[in-house]
Structure 1
């Protein structure tokens, strides 16, 4: 085991250690400038997805359902524990840099989702499959199949297996600490609930997300707004602390601005997943008239994750007296929980346990689908898919009942590091194609077309699937 730990730690150091975070930031800035700040120009259009499309085919995954599945994946433990860790290590200024990387990441999310939609394929059942692996094959050619296979393997290893073990562990630990429920009961319940959802495929996942995510988001945002209103006079001071610590006017922790930037960027990227190549797998399932439509939706998903949900956690912590800058002690979920309790009373710990359950369960559904999509790229054997479903149920149970066992899955971060490197390489090579698709969308809007339609015949050089675009002329 020590040998493998050394290898995985080495991979982690080469990716997340000193290369990947700067590249994600630099590429995000490049995409933003080269696309003429597309995420801001289309910002008003993002909110249209919440209304739904009355003309959409009810047998297809809608843009709104795909949004909620991706939000369920992006919004997880990182929005509760990760924000607390960033503030503890980087001070209040880390929140500012989480916001900054989200605004940049909104463009990366738009680009990767647009490409996933462009190269998606229609399945025999009439659904759609796509994502970076298929974009590599159909966008770059068969010569790059090896790159797509590396991506698919890393996606299964990191999200479907590793991160699902941690999600099970997070829920079981929270239920045991706040409610006294033994881990084995929580693990069994999670495993059964996971099985009921994943054996129904993407349609059942989407329907479940369409119910769970609004409840989860509205409930958590509502609690945060209540706390903010109770402390409204302190809010300007908190916002000033965030800005002052981020820009070096005031030092809250050792490392000053450097600690704020590094922790804010790292936690922000982990939370919103922009540029990592995970959410495009879900984005490709949606029925839309134009690839950029789903790109805009996924950009909105990043906004919801960081600018809204993460900000809620940050304000809950910074408006309380529990957090002491630079002090050692409470961290992670405990800091968020104790801060919430200090605001509204001890019942808040039960509310947070429920929130953690919904956040984590939505992530489990999302992580499973990423694994399913990656497996379907490598093999179409239905038996392999059923094996994966049973394995995921077992992984969730194992992560919940054995706290120490999750150390076995420490390969998740380095595998996600390789995943992100592969995705960034593909994004850079396919960015000219994304630019053409975005330009087509813009030209239709400029011509007065309120709902642009993608026509594969207008791009004969691209290996697209005409059956995936039934609205084309």
Structure 2
């Protein structure tokens, strides 16, 4: 029953809603993800600076990348290729490019409606812009509960399970040992709050992404003459010219869109929770940065995995084995020798560890929406997260994943409803930024006096 509901939600409702929203935001913004692509890098160069007590724009970026870049890049791409053929990768690219616009809007709005906290930090995200942007506190409560259950609890256990079983298969490490080590490492980080999570992510995320990228570039370099043919094969298969699956073009598009959405999370409302806490002069700055995180996830990291698989002899059209981790590990081993499979396991550990930190913060942010920064409640939640991480390393969590997949889909429905409702506010925000640039300002700033008609927390923009 759960599978049927998930298939309908993701295969019918969400694909239409997310693609439609991506097109709306792309067209309405004049293709912001393309016309400001170069500016992403200049914004990032200034994004390393942060005020005392706040996290920087770059730190917010790497925390969100920590959540986006994960098992979906290693296992999800392999599943997309196995079920939808190489052409599915092309549709992952398409959904990633449109998702950049969606992420831009949701993260810019999260910045606009963020709230100043007594300790000098910020809180924000869908729950906050649903409350202060369109006055729908009831909808915000529903979203917060779904976010807490999905990311704060469910997916943390699933990530632990994936890591523990992968290390057991590759190195013979007992699952309980992996669970215990992860609990100890996470405890040191999450009890330090978002600032410590940001600092650790700033170290781990670039390292893990660079490691995986270097391995992919090594494989590409070893097979450089075959790469153009692989990319051509992806494009040809995308339009039904070289079908490798029995379901035809519909299956190719379906798998590419679905796996792309799972991987980059654009439209789910998860990244805005992190984007809102950065200290920036204008909300659009962080929107631009977060759009780049979708590009990193889907266009760069997912493509790396696809090329690794398609350059190997492991993938066979119509194969029944859809175990993504095994397919990617076997392909890497075929290119780099036996250590390649172990490398994928190590990369998976880093990806999962950073994702759990990110998931924890999402749960903590949703909890604070109810408990108003209660230290006791926060500590109880931290202990519960650690317990679930250890428990997850010992279980078969197919049912837990199915339930979390359902609640994640509902998250997207609620968030997209709010985003479309606030579409005009998002466009107005972008026009304000565009206008300041046209007037000669190198660094646009939000002028709160221009936004008195909205429920903006002026303390969050007093600088």
Deviations 1:293-322 (A, max 9, x none): 000000000000000000000000000011
- Indicate if the aligned counterparts of 2:164 and 2:393 stay in contact, CA closer than 8 A: yes
Tell me whether 190-199 or 10-19 shows the greater mean CA deviation: 10-19
Question: In the comparison of the two structures, how many residue pairs are matched?
Answer: 462
Which of 79, 85, 89 is equivalent to 1:85? 79
Offset of 1:55 from its aligned partner? 5.2
Aligned counterparts of 2:348 and 2:111: Cα–Cα separation in 1: 31
Aligned counterparts of 1:439 and 1:469: Cα–Cα separation in 2: 19
Offset of 1:53 from its aligned partner? 4.0
- Indicate if the aligned counterparts of 1:169 and 1:399 stay in contact, CA closer than 8 A: yes
Which of 52, 75, 80 is equivalent to 2:69? 75
Question: Is 1:341 paired with 2:333?
Answer: yes
The Cα RMSD (Å) is 1.3
Question: Is 1:378 paired with 2:370?
Answer: yes
Question: Is 1:251 paired with 2:251?
Answer: no
Normalised by the length of structure 2, the TM-score is: 0.98
Offset of 1:97 from its aligned partner? 0.2
Question: Is 1:452 paired with 2:448?
Answer: no
- Indicate if the aligned counterparts of 2:49 and 2:56 stay in contact, CA closer than 8 A: no
Deviations 1:129-165 (A, max 9, x none): 0000000111112xx2110000000001111111111
Gaps of 5+ in 2: none
Aligned to 1:205: 197
Aligned counterparts of 2:446 and 2:350: Cα–Cα separation in 1: 36
Which of 321, 336, 339 is equivalent to 1:329? 321
Which of 398, 407, 427 is equivalent to 2:399? 407
1:165/1:42 Cα in 2 relative to 1: closer, same or farther (>3 Å)? same
Aligned counterparts of 1:296 and 1:397: Cα–Cα separation in 2: 37
- SS for the counterpart of 2:66 is helix
Deviations 1:150-187 (A, max 9, x none): 00000011111111111001110111000100000000
1:325/1:55 Cα in 2 relative to 1: closer, same or farther (>3 Å)? closer
Aligned counterparts of 2:321 and 2:6: Cα–Cα separation in 1: 27
Within 5 Å, which residues of 2 pair with 1:113-262?
113-141=107-135, 144-262=136-254
Deviations 1:377-419 (A, max 9, x none): 01122211111101110111111122x2452453101111111
Offset of 1:11 from its aligned partner? 4.6
- Indicate if the aligned counterparts of 1:49 and 1:64 stay in contact, CA closer than 8 A: no
- SS for the counterpart of 1:253 is coil
Aligned counterparts of 1:197 and 1:270: Cα–Cα separation in 2: 26
Deviations 1:207-254 (A, max 9, x none): 000000010010000000000010011111101110110011111111
Aligned counterparts of 1:167 and 1:35: Cα–Cα separation in 2: 36
Deviations 1:329-370 (A, max 9, x none): 363000000000000100112211110001000100000000
Normalised by the length of structure 1, the TM-score is: 0.96
- SS for the counterpart of 1:85 is helix
Aligned to 2:266: 274
1:63/1:229 Cα in 2 relative to 1: closer, same or farther (>3 Å)? same
Aligned to 1:431: 423
Offset of 1:49 from its aligned partner? 4.4
- SS for the counterpart of 1:410 is helix
- Indicate if the aligned counterparts of 1:165 and 1:406 stay in contact, CA closer than 8 A: no
Deviations 1:98-122 (A, max 9, x none): 0000000000000000000000011
Aligned counterparts of 1:347 and 1:13: Cα–Cα separation in 2: 37
- Indicate if the aligned counterparts of 2:158 and 2:400 stay in contact, CA closer than 8 A: no
Aligned counterparts of 1:53 and 1:228: Cα–Cα separation in 2: 32
Aligned to 1:3: none
- SS for the counterpart of 1:274 is coil
Which of 88, 97, 118 is equivalent to 1:94? 88
Gaps of 5+ in 1: 1-5
Question: Is 1:418 paired with 2:410?
Answer: yes
1:408/1:110 Cα in 2 relative to 1: closer, same or farther (>3 Å)? closer
- SS for the counterpart of 2:422 is helix
Aligned counterparts of 2:158 and 2:191: Cα–Cα separation in 1: 21
- SS for the counterpart of 2:278 is coil
Question: Is 1:390 paired with 2:390?
Answer: no
Aligned counterparts of 1:56 and 1:267: Cα–Cα separation in 2: 35
1:187/1:135 Cα in 2 relative to 1: closer, same or farther (>3 Å)? same
Offset of 1:52 from its aligned partner? 4.1
- Indicate if the aligned counterparts of 1:399 and 1:406 stay in contact, CA closer than 8 A: no
Tell me whether 156-165 or 14-23 shows the greater mean CA deviation: 14-23
Aligned to 2:279: 287
